Amino acid sequence: MNPSDRPGNRDDEQIVLSSVDEFLAWGKEHSLFYLLFATACCGIELMQAGGPRYDVDRLGMIPRATPRQADLMIVAGTITHKMASRVRTLWEQMTEPRWVVSMGSCANSGGPFSKWSYSVLNGIDKYVPVDVYIPGCPPRPEALIDGVMALRDRVRRYRTLGERDTTPHVVAGHDAPFGGHCKVPDFGKPPEGKA
Amino acid sequence: MTLDASTPNGERMTLNMGPHHPATHGVLRIVVESDGEVVATCTPDHGYLHRSIEKIGECVEWPMFVPYTDRVDYVCAMNANLAYCVAAEKLLQTDPAATFTVPRRAECIRVLVAELNRISSHLVAVGAMAMDVGAYTPFLHGIAQREGVNDIFEKLCGQRLTYNYVTIGGVAFDLYDGAIDDIRRFLDQFEREMVRFNKLVTTNTIFRDRCAGVATVSAKEAVAWGLVGPNLRGSGVDFDVRRDEPYCVYGELGVQVPVGQAFAGRKGQVGDAYDRYVVRLLEIQESIRLCREVLKLLPPSAEKPNDPIGGIQADVGKLLKKPGKGEIHVRTEAPRGEMGYFLVSDGTKSLFRVRCRTGSFTAAGIFHHVMRGIFLADVVAVIGSFDVVVPEIDR
Amino acid sequence: MKALAFDAIATAVQARFPAVLVQKADNGQMALRVPKASIVDVAHFLRTDAQLAFDGLSDLTAFDTLKYPSTPPQDDICVVYVLFSYTHRHKVLLKVHAERAACDVPTVSGEWPAALYFEREVWDLFGVRFVGHPSLRRIMTPDDWEGHPLRKDYLYPATYNGVAHLRDGQHFEAAPPRSGGPL
Ligand code: SF4
């Protein structure tokens, strides 16, 4: 048989019909470049997730050093009050569409430091909107990958031209609405005199 | 970035690195003022990861602080656990009512896990340093080998990073069945791997010349600026807490202490970045040997957990409910140097003051001194060679 | 190399500075209590004397004696210096008490440059002003932080930068006292 006559190889079978939005979402889903942004212990797990064993590269995730090239910000580790406004700045420097994964209890809610610490911010979602929360102290790389998979579902539903998807954020793989936490305070102008 | 043309040398440029910068090992901020390619002044800015761990120590009970010590230095959490527990035990033992001794098996296990963790911590250090000077692959090799240690620890205590394994009075769990075989197999495999790593990086001419003679710290300076651990030994000072103030069973192991001796040859000096790097690698070799030695000392497991020889946990529960008053300063050797705890107890269930002195803090303190007059491109290599871990600086 | 015991060190120091006292903690840990005004002289002597040669500052920290159950009750800030001699391999603790209100101690950064960072930390967390320190700035907390957190009478901030410290609806039993209303 002529190879071009084999099923699947004929010209009319090589054509996929899709909407522009779906096509763009498909591309985004498979190339989530993440910002290499590690503050504390969870950052080591993030690095090990990028290491040879877990190898998140195969999911199209490649670390970028600058927020301008990143689609995804993985907040890995404790965010202190001193650091929080810098995180906001980094997030503002990312181009739309952008996603945020909060990795570990500290970034979710302050974790082990929520009660007695005077300097730790209890949850990064007070500064930037979070799409996926991954619990754990630290979460295993598998949990991180699971969280990224949950995020990919959201990315797939993202519409660049059509109506925006407004489904609530998820907790590591379960489509469980968490509700009510994702409030970004209105900062107005940045405070004077602070770098 | 601002340009300032008022300085005599023409113009200076202020360059801000961090707190988000991939080469600063976390959230360290460094403001460098450069005169052309040469650093004129360097001002580190800390505190982006200040998690008030010392204050938490005053709020929680004695044993509850152990998980927080994991977070003081998460790259070598076992050593951080050990440092606090040894200090707390010494403080408890100053009370005349205290009669406990840590079982010998527990002491041996402590040394075993501490040395394994030292290996994995130094792997990150040397890998990250190679990454800072521009080679990405060694970092991946380091991370890959680190997974071997992580696997052993995970089977041992269920965590990959923050172990909470060493407790006041012993260790939390006994070795699992087959642990010794696992460790032996890992060490054999790892020793072969290190030969390859050294061929790839350590003896690599480009890497050696890149680090030779960079940021030299003389022995006198190192002592005065309070450097500790491999940074101090890299400058040629022969001091190691494990050998000179032994704790656990280190006294019986005969710890060999490598010191810097201008390993880079003609271009190098004692105490340069390459010396600090090589000292870390030699310490890895020494840790492999210590692991094997301590496995020979390990007594068989006993039925009773508080058996003085084969047990794993001394009875300290009653003592911790009503400890004596007093204070103590004890130091142990963590991979980033001496980790000194100054504890004050006021006789209640929680400590009155917990002070943790870490190696990275003073290493960061010398930055503005050694960075004056070096090339801008060397700044990250210097940060890498001192092996600072940000939570240790900030706590 | 000849390591000295604590008594020998204390005798050597007291021969030169009679105002230095030997202080024993409740569990017998020995320290030298140095008057605030003479700490720099004592430090210089300890570092340069050939017999003592304390060339390393192993640690410099402090603790707040308020609420410590001692008789009589105190409320000083006690600054602790841990000195170690790499030449002779011996160690000594020095203590300097600074009053709570006018909390200033002369700096020893001229003797050991390691003190530059330690003193910044103690200033930040305890509010001890080290007189003569070339750049006494906060090191851990942001520059506009209020209070010195490791003091025993510190109030936790309720908000920072306009953002509440706790989450909505988050509350703890026996939480540390916070400034600015309940919680
Ligand atoms: S969640 Fe746990 S492991 Fe992660 S940064 Fe916080 S303390 Fe560290």
Q: How far apart are CA B379 and CA C181, in angstroms?
A: 46
Q: How far apart are CA C151 and CA C140, in angstroms?
A: 15
- B46:C56 CB<8 A: no
What kind of fold does domain B11-392 have according to CATH? Cytochrome-c3 Hydrogenase; chain B (1.10.645)
According to DSSP, the residues that pair with C33 across neighbouring strands are C21, C95
Q: What band does A166 get if pLDDT is binned at 50, 70 and 90?
A: low
Query: Which residue in A85, A110, A183 is closest to C161 by CB distance?
Result: A85
Q: Indicate whether A175 pLDDT > 50.
A: no
Residue C171 in domain: no
CA of A112 to the centre of ligand 1 (A): 8
Radius of gyration for chain A, computed over Cα atoms and rounded to the nearest angstrom? 19
Residue A11 in domain: no
Share the mean pLDDT of chain B.
84
- B346:C139 CB<8 A: no
Share the mean pLDDT of chain A.
76
Q: Within an 8 Å CB–CB cutoff, is residue C134 touching chain A? A: no
Q: What's the order of all strands across the beta sheet hosting A99-103?
A: A63-64, A34-35, A72-76, A99-103, A132-134, A170-171
Q: Within an 8 Å CB–CB cutoff, is residue C56 touching chain B? A: yes
For chain B, the residues whose C-beta falls within 8 A of a C-beta of chain A are 16, 19-20, 22, 26-27, 47-52, 55-56, 59-60, 67-68, 70-71, 74-75, 124, 140, 143-144, 146-147, 150, 160-162, 390-391
Report how far apart, in Å, the C-alpha atoms of B120 and of each of A192, B15, B346 are: 44, 33, 37
| One-letter-per-residue 3-state SS of B335-371 | CCEEEEEEEEEECCCECCEEEEECHHHHHHHCHHHHC
Residue A40 in domain: yes
Domain count for chain A: 1
Q: Within an 8 Å CB–CB cutoff, is residue C82 touching chain B? A: yes
Q: How far apart are CA A124 and CA A34, in angstroms?
A: 17
Q: Indicate whether A191 pLDDT > 70.
A: no
Among A13-17, A79-83, A172-176, name the one with the lowest average pLDDT: A172-176
Residues 6+ away with beta carbon under 8 Å from B227: B217, B235, B337, B359, B362, B363, B366
User: Residue B207's CB: how many other CB atoms inside 10 A?
Assistant: 21
> Which residue of chain C comes nearest to A121, CA vs CA?
C165
Torsion of CA C46, C52, C55, C60, to 10 degrees: -50
Residue A2 in domain: no
Query: Is there an atom of ligand 1 within 6 Å of A43 CB?
Result: no
Residue A190 in domain: no
Residue C182 in domain: no
Amino acid A162: pLDDT:
65
Residue A4 in domain: no
CA of B201 to the centre of ligand 1 (A): 32
Residue C105 in domain: yes
Residue bearing the CA closest to ligand 1, atom 3:
A138
Structure confidence by residue, pLDDT tens digits, B347-374: 888 888 899 888 888 888 888 888 888 8
CB B50 within 8 Å of CB B40: no
A195 contact residues in B (CB cutoff 8 A): 16
E strand map for chain B: 2-4, 12-17, 29-35, 38-45, 166-167, 170-171, 325-334, 337-346, 353-357
- Phi–psi pair at B171, nearest 5 degrees: -130, 165
Query: Residue A122, CB half-sphere, CA atoms under 13 Å: how many?
Result: 21
Residue C43 in domain: yes
Q: Indicate whether B72 pLDDT > 80.
A: yes
Domain count for chain C: 1
Q: Tell me what the mean pLDDT of segment B224-233 comes to.
A: 88
CA of B67 to the centre of ligand 1 (A): 11
DSSP annotation of A174: B
SS3 C105: strand
Query: Is there an atom of ligand 1 within 6 Å of A42 CB?
Result: yes
Q: How many CB pairs under 8 A join A and C?
A: 49
Residue C155 in domain: yes
CA of B71 to the centre of ligand 1 (A): 7
Structure confidence by residue, pLDDT tens digits, B37-67: 888 888 888 888 888 888 888 888 888 889 8
Amino acid C180: pLDDT:
61
- B20:A90 CB<8 A: yes
Query: Is residue C18 reached through a cis peptide bond, with omega within 30 degrees of 0 on the bond before it?
Result: no
Q: Indicate whether C34 pLDDT > 80.
A: yes
Retrieve residue B372's tokens.
């004056």
What's the domain range around C124?
6-164
Please report, for the domain that includes residue A58, its CATH number.
Answer: 3.40.50.12280
According to DSSP, the residues that pair with C28 across neighbouring strands are none
Query: Residue A56, CB half-sphere, CA atoms under 13 Å: how many?
Result: 25
Q: Indicate whether B208 pLDDT > 80.
A: yes
Q: Tell me what the mean pLDDT of segment A60-88 comes to.
A: 86
To test the contact with chain A by mutation, choose from C150, C161, C170, C178 the residue with the greatest count of A C-beta atoms within 10 A, namely: C161
User: Residue B265's CB: how many other CB atoms inside 10 A?
Assistant: 10
Among A190-194, C112-116, C147-151, name the one with the lowest average pLDDT: A190-194
Q: How far apart are CA A38 and CA A57, in angstroms?
A: 17
Q: Indicate whether A171 pLDDT > 80.
A: no
Amino acid C181: pLDDT:
52
- B47:C142 CB<8 A: yes
Say which residue the tokens 């103590």 belong to. Answer: B328
Amino acid C26: pLDDT:
80
CA distance C52 to chain B (A): 15
Residue C55 in domain: yes
Q: What band does A164 get if pLDDT is binned at 50, 70 and 90?
A: low
- B394:C138 CB<8 A: no
Q: Nearest-5° angle of CA C128, CA C130, CA C135?
A: 115
A90 contact residues in B (CB cutoff 8 A): 20
Retrieve residue B390's tokens.
């940000």
pTM for this entry: 0.86
Q: What band does A192 get if pLDDT is binned at 50, 70 and 90?
A: low
